[in-house]
Amino acid sequence: MSSAIDFVHEQLTPKKVFPAFKAGDNITVNYKIIEGNKERIQSFKGDVIKKQGKGSTATFTVRKISDGIGVERLFPYSSPNIDSIVLNKVGQVRRAKLFYQRERFGKSARIREKRMSVAAEQAKKAAKA
């Protein structure tokens, strides 16, 4: 019964295609902000702390440091206000949820970038073009 409901719900919700990212990756989320009758796009650049949920209720949390203060924002995948997501860096982490980042600042808060072979990077650039 619930699989039929999930199937219909999946068919009715418009699906945007975002790049594959995981916890530890540095992304920029371009989000539509509505102020009165004006609409603008604001970018939120930071590290992905966690991904959770599945289907239409799936969310991800992005953390950035703004003026020395940590700011986290939770984004639903299915939000119509997300304009685009840009993958900046692929991080090398051993965990799925990076809550330990909340206590860190400065150099200790850095996430190592995953090193890729030259062939893999060229293939990635070719796929973007």
Task: Report pTM.
Answer: 0.77
Return the CATH number at 21.
Answer: 2.30.30
Mean pLDDT, to the nearest integer, of 5-12? 73
- Domain of residue 72: give its range: 3-127
Residue 91 in this model has a pLDDT that exceeds 80: yes
**Confidence band, pLDDT 50/70/90 cuts, at residue 100:** very high
Note the pLDDT of residue 39.
Answer: 93
Residue 94 in this model has a pLDDT that exceeds 80: yes
Query: 27-41: per-residue pLDDT in tens?
Result: 999 999 999 999 999
Q: Give the residue with greater pLDDT, 61 vs 123.
A: 61
What gap in Å lies between CA 23 and CA 114, rounded to an integer?
Answer: 12
Query: How many distinct structural domains can be found in the chain?
Result: 1
CB 48 within 8 A of CB 27: yes
